[in-house]
């Protein structure tokens, strides 16, 4: 025990004597660990954010997107970008005829600029029908949602999310009835929705959306085409029947490969596989910097072994075995790597806490444990060769080294 404590103390003595060198050497590992932990945290946070959002949606939801997203049960990369069906109002009407379907909400989504008399903010527009509220399970906090008559009469009315309302107005109730300008058109705020939290449908937050009758926003969408259709089945019992009906109805108009009928779980799978792939690539990039950091440690350990040849000789003369010397240098390499690793973990935790109010990031205990283990392993892997060199030195040559 005394021996191990001294070995560690002896290593820290060396670090204290070479502060700058220690710092620079562990910096490589620090950057590597920080980037890996941070990327995992951001990835997990984003995934959680979107998953939470889905949980907040109405039940028995079915999503219809153009293009073919799934192949069997797995996600087909780029599926949504291959074009395919372009939905319009007639699709909404024909789907609504199905006796298994309760609501159909078409969706046109666009990033827009919203201005009051003295403020301008960026938000997302979701132009749809009155069905959007039951489908997305959106309740009003103040005012009312827009109705079928608003859609039919093309009333320039909007409902805004609470986060956007907070940015634009100091007082929610005062916001009701106010006029705001969206790209040169005036709209009246008739409602503010309840906070839902989480992320939008793969995009922004529901709480900062502008909800508008699609008929009032034709200047943004002159083709009257929709990016997606969100459908609510009448009950859980008819969910599968509703899906089949949708398939049948849409196939009258489109090729079966031109659209995808997805469940929440399908969509979550898609999101998971996309994030999985992105995360893997990012973590691999982080891992490369860990290897580079490891090489830095190896390099400096070699220098250290040469510099301390005489010390190795002295230790051998007073009774240190080869193993003692090996353990001594290995301990130093591992500690060097751990300093970087712990520094990286601390920096990523601080960073995650700092950005948490702007971006959903989560520190995951497992990633911290892995970072810890990985930095230990890097210390061992990159420290063992220099340590062996030290251990295998002939004591007599070492002690005579000048």
Report the residue number, 71 or 321, with the smaller CB distance to another protein. Answer: 321
Told to check if 306 binds another protein by CB under 8 A, we report no
Told to check if 19 binds another protein by CB under 8 A, we report no
Report the residue number, 235 or 392, with the smaller CB distance to another protein. Answer: 392
Report the residue number, 195 or 303, with the smaller CB distance to another protein. Answer: 303
Check if the beta carbon of residue 53 is closer than 8 Å to that of residue 198.
yes
Q: Which residues contact 294 (CB under 8 A, 6 or more apart)?
A: 28, 29, 337, 378, 381, 382
Sign of the Cα pseudo-torsion (161, 108, 127, 118, in order): positive
Contacts 24+ apart (CB under 8 A), 284-288: 285/35, 286/32, 286/35, 286/36, 286/39, 287/32, 287/36
Told to check if 48 binds another protein by CB under 8 A, we report no
Q: Which residue among 70, 287, 347, 399 contacts another protein (CB under 8 A)?
A: 399
Q: Which residue among 11, 14, 26, 79 contacts another protein (CB under 8 A)?
A: 14
Tell me how far CA of residue 22 lies from CA of 31, 95, 285, 289, in angstroms. 14, 67, 24, 17
Q: Which residues contact 371 (CB under 8 A, 6 or more apart)?
A: 33, 36, 37, 341, 344, 345
Q: Which stretch binds another protein (CB under 8 A): 13-21, 213-221, 279-287, 354-362?
A: 13-21
Alpha helices by DSSP H, 147-220: 148-152, 162-168, 172-175
Q: Which residue among 72, 83, 222, 319 contacts another protein (CB under 8 A)?
A: 319
Q: Which residue among 122, 321, 353, 373 contacts another protein (CB under 8 A)?
A: 321
Told to check if 83 binds another protein by CB under 8 A, we report no
Between the two ends of the chain, the Cα-to-Cα distance in Å is 33
Report the residue number, 149 or 392, with the smaller CB distance to another protein. Answer: 392
Told to check if 13 binds another protein by CB under 8 A, we report yes
Q: How many residues bind another protein (CB under 8 A)?
A: 25
Q: Which stretch binds another protein (CB under 8 A): 6-14, 36-44, 56-64, 233-241?
A: 6-14
Q: Which stretch binds another protein (CB under 8 A): 88-96, 174-182, 258-266, 388-396?
A: 388-396
Report the residue number, 2 or 186, with the smaller CB distance to another protein. Answer: 2
Check if the beta carbon of residue 329 is closer than 8 Å to that of residue 398.
no
Check if the beta carbon of residue 95 is closer than 8 Å to that of residue 248.
no
Report the residue number, 14 or 348, with the smaller CB distance to another protein. Answer: 14
Question: Which residue ranges make up the site for another protein (CB under 8 A)?
Answer: 2-3, 6, 10, 13-14, 17, 310-311, 313-324, 394-396, 399
């Amino acid at each position: 025990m005394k021996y191990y404590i001294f070995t560690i103390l002896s290593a820290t003595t060396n670090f204290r004597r070479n502060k700058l060198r220690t710092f620079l050497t562990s910096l490589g590992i620090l950057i590597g660990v920080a980037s890996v932990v941070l990327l995992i945290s951001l990835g997990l946070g984003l995934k959680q954010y979107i998953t939470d959002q889905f949980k907040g949606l109405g039940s028995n939801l079915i999503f219809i997107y153009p293009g073919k997203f799934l192949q069997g049960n797995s996600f087909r990369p780029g599926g949504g970008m291959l074009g395919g069906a372009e939905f319009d109002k007639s699709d909404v009407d024909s789907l609504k005829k199905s006796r298994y379907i309760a609501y159909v909400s078409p969706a046109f989504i666009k990033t827009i600029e919203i201005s009051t008399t003295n403020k301008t903010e960026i938000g997302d527009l979701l132009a749809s029908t009155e069905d959007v509220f039951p489908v997305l399970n959106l309740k009003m906090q103040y005012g009312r949602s827009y109705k079928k008559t608003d859609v039919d009469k093309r009333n320039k009315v909007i409902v805004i999310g609470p986060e956007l309302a907070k940015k634009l107005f100091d007082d929610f109730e005062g916001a009701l009835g106010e006029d705001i300008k969206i790209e040169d058109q005036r709209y009246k705020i008739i409602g503010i929705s309840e906070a839902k939290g989480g992320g939008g449908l793969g995009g922004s937050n529901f709480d900062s959306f502008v909800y508008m009758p699609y008929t009032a926003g034709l200047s943004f969408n002159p083709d009257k085409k929709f990016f997606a259709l969100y459908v609510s089945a009448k009950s859980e019992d008819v969910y599968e029947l509703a899906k089949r009906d949708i398939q049948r109805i849409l196939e009258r108009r489109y090729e079966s490969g031109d659209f995808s009928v997805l469940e929440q779980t399908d969509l979550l799978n898609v999101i998971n596989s996309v994030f999985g792939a992105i995360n893997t690539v990012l973590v691999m990039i982080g891992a490369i910097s860990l290897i580079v950091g490891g090489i830095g440690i190896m390099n400096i350990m070699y220098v250290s072994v040469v510099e301390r040849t005489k010390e190795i000789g002295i230790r051998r003369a007073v009774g240190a075995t080869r193993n003692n010397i090996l353990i001594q240098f290995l301990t130093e390499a591992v500690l060097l790597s751990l300093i970087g690793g712990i520094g990286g973990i601390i920096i990523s935790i601080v960073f995650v806490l700092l950005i948490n109010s702007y971006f959903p990031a989560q520190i995951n205990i497992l990633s911290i444990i892995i970072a810890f283990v990985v930095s230990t392993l890097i210390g061992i892997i990159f420290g063992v060769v220099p340590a062996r060199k030290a251990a295998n030195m002939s004591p007599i040559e070492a002690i005579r080294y000048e």
